Structure 1
């Protein structure tokens, strides 16, 4: 098993799908002394310090020949389109292609999944034991990939909540322009995690000596969505968000990170209001 404490010999890490969250995780592994390889279809110039690019496409098995041996794999791809075929091609077929191409079975494979696998819970608390009931194709495809990961001896899934952080300004832009409606006073909750905390959670799960097979990656503070949107609108100088329906295909729930915290993880940004405030500052 992988050790939690530093040692002279560190497992090599392959980030399969090295986008924003994946590269942030890569830099955390580098800081801990791990050799890190980052798989991308089209590597964008020079890699971050300590990271080596690997060119390959998860949807094209022939491009995955010659992958480096890695004791730790972080599987965090991004589909090219928001449609079922693209999701299945990357998350399900792509995962199978990756596992077939690896020169050895990794001691640990961490999958960055999503809380989209849950359904409607009327604002109740949700944790890893809550039955899944995905309302959309994305959640259904992710569950298929999770099943593959669960069949691996070192497989761990981290279901990430809604991501925010540098470069993710769409919501703020909509609030500034008065285009983001929200249900007021109905107890509809938003669940968020800062991208740096998401990357830290993936790294943490990879390095635990005896991880659970599943964690919820979310901050400490589920917020009524009208309170969150109202606070953000005020900070960006936008109007009070108008009355409107809850976000479609998400479901109303409060995600609990109790299992992740019990494993020793601490969010740098436990409350999205403070995380957004720091971004805007």
Structure 2
């Protein structure tokens, strides 16, 4: 597969995990980001600022696949606009003017495009009603792809957790916990499964197996966030002393369905929060 060039735009946490899997499968992987330090072994580094159109035209490769997995520089409207809406439009301009036709573009999006927050069930067919700038701008980037001539797949990841993403664990260690009532449903996916999903679908497409243009990517456990934090507290033998009304910073409550993803045959490495958080909790207990 060395003749297949994969360009990972924004080769940070998820992009790097994705790259490791693709390199192991024999693909030729290029990682493009503003800082090219500390990319995984086997990944060829490219310098790129997605918000700068000229930066795109400094790239000389013609990738067979593109994985757009950019992290905004901060949780501000300007940062999101630059990373997602502007970045995707610049990519599409570069591809069009350079007459590059990748087999498929994979765009890492977010369930923030859903504005439902009363415990509703959502899937790929649910109308998007973003309530904040993050969801609105992410949806703008999705629509730019939908309106383009390029084959693409949008991946709406739910709350990503894993190494370096331990907000809930830190809060529980401090004795803080979500309220039991009103119920706030939460959805999550481990960072290793984010990479796993991208690898799985890219390999399927390369094998000319049919894949969809949109997937809601979340694990098998849409549960009240109180349940998650209560379980953590029990595991760490911590007695909660304070209620946190919005422990994930952005108050939301919906139940995300992943049937379309499961129908592709993807098998989760961490199917629920229990498997995903267990190693981190075990490490904390071993240190105490």
What's the TM-score, normalizing by structure 2? 0.88
**Partner Cα distance (2:269, 2:19) in 1:** 18
Structure 1 position 55, deviation (Å): 0.8
**Partner Cα distance (1:114, 1:171) in 2:** 19
SS of residue paired to 2:242: coil
| Equivalent position of 1:266 in the other structure | 267
Deviates more, 1:156-165 or 1:118-127: 118-127
**Partner Cα distance (1:29, 1:114) in 2:** 22
Measured against aligned partners, the alpha-carbon deviations of 1:81-117 in whole angstroms (never above 9, x if no partner) come to 2111111111011112123334412111000000011
Residue 165 of structure 2 is aligned to residue 159 of structure 1: no
Structure 1 position 164, deviation (Å): 0.8
Structure 1 position 226, deviation (Å): 0.7
Deviates more, 1:152-161 or 1:14-23: 152-161
| Equivalent position of 1:60 in the other structure | 52
Residues 177, 240 of structure 2: 8 Å contact kept: no
| Equivalent position of 2:104 in the other structure | 108
Measured against aligned partners, the alpha-carbon deviations of 1:196-218 in whole angstroms (never above 9, x if no partner) come to 00111122222333211110110
Question: How many residue pairs get matched?
Answer: 272
| Equivalent position of 1:4 in the other structure | none
| Equivalent position of 2:231 in the other structure | 231
Of 112, 115, 119, the match for 1:119 = 115
**Unmatched segments (≥5 aa) in structure 2:** 283-288
Residues 162, 191 of structure 1: 8 Å contact kept: yes
Residues 99, 105 of structure 1: 8 Å contact kept: no
Closer, same or farther in 2 for the Cα pair 1:267/1:213, shift >3 Å? same
| Equivalent position of 1:41 in the other structure | 34
What's the TM-score, normalizing by structure 1? 0.91
**Partner Cα distance (1:66, 1:116) in 2:** 31
**Partner Cα distance (2:182, 2:139) in 1:** 29
List structure 1 runs of 4+ shifted beyond 6 angstroms: none
**Partner Cα distance (2:60, 2:146) in 1:** 23
RMSD of Structure 2 on Structure 1 (CA): 1.8
**Partner Cα distance (1:67, 1:124) in 2:** 46
**Partner Cα distance (1:225, 1:54) in 2:** 39
| Equivalent position of 1:19 in the other structure | 12
**Partner Cα distance (2:241, 2:249) in 1:** 17
**Partner Cα distance (1:163, 1:36) in 2:** 23
